[in-house]
Amino acid sequence: MRARFSYALPPLAILCWSLLSPRPALAQLPLPPLPGGLVVTMTSPASGSTVASTITVSASVSPAGLLVGGVQFKLDGANLGSMDTTAPYSVSWNTTGASNGSHTLRAVARDALGLQYASSPVTVRVSNAAPPTTTRFEESAANLSPSGAWTSIDSAGARATLSGDSGVYTAVSGARASLAFNGTGVSWIGLPCEICGFAGIYLDGALVATVDTFAASRPAASRSLFTTGGLAAGSHTIVVEASGTQNAASGGANIVVDAFDVEGGASSGGGGKTRIEETDPSMTYAGAWLSQSRGDLSGGSVVESSDANGTASLTFNGTGVSWIGFRGPWAGIAQVYLDGALKATVDTYGPIEQSQVVMYTASGLAAGSHTVMIKVTGTWSSASSSAWVVLDAFDVM
């Protein structure tokens, strides 16, 4: 006896049922290698390799020829670039856009009928070093020589946005702005303009470039006019020197120094700077000092002395220090001591008054505690009228 409800479909019904049953769209699914199908093989990079920067990802397809419509590369399942329709099949991959760590690459080929065939996955490890830290040093950190050749300017006067709202400029041949730094690269931030001329760039004493800073119209903001990298980690000096010349289209030979960007400085022991005003409790004074206030001074005030017994001292932790002072027709001569040793005798005279001038800089010191002292000598040059020495601030690096 047949079981209740048992029913055998006739052959025609079975065929119709089969045709009406839902099926996956074959053209949308990558197929493993089949007899007569395409065989896709990743040829680069090798599975298990470590990659960095920009590399070429490539694959081969067999059999080659008109059967291959193109190859789409995949990174972690997402399209990597556009489909390559011409052999040899490859795509450029900038690995810096991916996180450091493990990633999966695959190539998917499409045949002339739209069927897709996938390669075996390739796993690679991305390892890109973090970009070097860049530290900005304003023009006040540079040593300007001769200081009287340089003029301070703000953004309004420059008709362009300046870093820190200030910069210096000169058209005097041979005038130099020097920065001693620790790092692996450096950029000079300046302002090209319609009255700007040629500057020579010296690195560690060697002339490495001549830069034409002329521009028919000024940009909205200062920008990098010279950049170098790949330097050996350690101490270097960059000098921007005005040539006093310009090209035929320029109306002047001015050079603008706005700032310097040092690459790798902060990561190798500190390239940043901390400003310590003359009123800071860490300052120590001996002898007679007077206080003066003015809007163009760092912190709005300075101290000054013409007392031959006058000293101003700061004990700091760092690898460098700059004395921020003042030049003027009444300014005298000072001595600079570092850790008790006389390091420089500085004539602070200038034919015109200049505020926030870097009078002295020491760099490349051993990390740790140091003491800088400014000593008033009570003397002045024949060009000056008195012995006043001004202390505005210290920049500690």
Choose among 293, 307, 310, 285: nearest CA to 392.
293
Structure confidence at residue 270 as a pLDDT band (50, 70, 90): very low
8 Å CB contact between 124 and 103:
yes
pLDDT in tens, 145-189: 887 899 999 999 999 999 989 999 999 999 999 988 888 899 999
- Position 26 pLDDT exceeds 80: no
The average pLDDT across 332-350 equals 95
Q: What is d(CA 227, CA 184) in angstroms, rounded to the nearest whole number?
A: 11
Tell which CATH classification among 2.70.70.10, 1.10.10.350, 2.60.120.260, 3.10.180.10 matches the domain 131-268: 2.60.120.260
Burial of 63 (0-12, 13-18, 19+ CB in 10 A): exposed
φ/ψ of 131, rounded to 5, equals: -60, 145
- Domain ranges across the chain: 22-126, 131-268, 273-397
The pLDDT score that the predictor gives to residue 212 is 97
8 Å CB contact between 111 and 134:
no
For 77-126, give the DSSP string.
TEE-SSPB-SSSEEEEEEGGGS-SEEEEEEEEEEETTS-EEEPPPEEEEE
13-17, 58-62, 130-134, 316-320: segment of lowest average pLDDT: 13-17
pLDDT in tens, 33-89: 445 678 999 999 999 999 999 999 999 998 877 678 899 999 999 999 999 988 889
CATH number of the 273-397 domain: 2.60.120.260
Structure confidence at residue 128 as a pLDDT band (50, 70, 90): confident
The pLDDT score that the predictor gives to residue 6 is 39
The pLDDT score that the predictor gives to residue 183 is 84
- Is the pTM higher than 0.85? The answer reads no
The average pLDDT across 287-304 equals 89
The pLDDT score that the predictor gives to residue 272 is 57
The pLDDT score that the predictor gives to residue 170 is 97
The pLDDT score that the predictor gives to residue 343 is 92
- Position 268 pLDDT exceeds 70: no
The pLDDT score that the predictor gives to residue 35 is 52
pLDDT in tens, 245-267: 999 999 999 999 999 999 875 43
- Position 389 pLDDT exceeds 80: yes
pLDDT in tens, 182-238: 888 999 999 999 999 999 999 988 999 999 999 999 999 999 999 998 888 877 889
For the chain, the first-to-last Cα distance in angstroms comes to 102
Structure confidence at residue 332 as a pLDDT band (50, 70, 90): very high
352: number of Cβ within 10 Å: 9
CATH number of the 22-126 domain: 2.60.40.10
Q: What is d(CA 126, CA 50) in angstroms, rounded to the nearest whole number?
A: 6
Structure confidence at residue 302 as a pLDDT band (50, 70, 90): very high
Question: What is the share, in percent, of the chain residues with pLDDT greater than 90?
Answer: 58
The pLDDT score that the predictor gives to residue 142 is 86
The pLDDT score that the predictor gives to residue 363 is 86
State the chain's mean pLDDT as an integer.
86
The average pLDDT across 320-326 equals 92
Fold identical between 131-268 and 273-397?
Answer: yes
- Position 367 pLDDT exceeds 60: yes
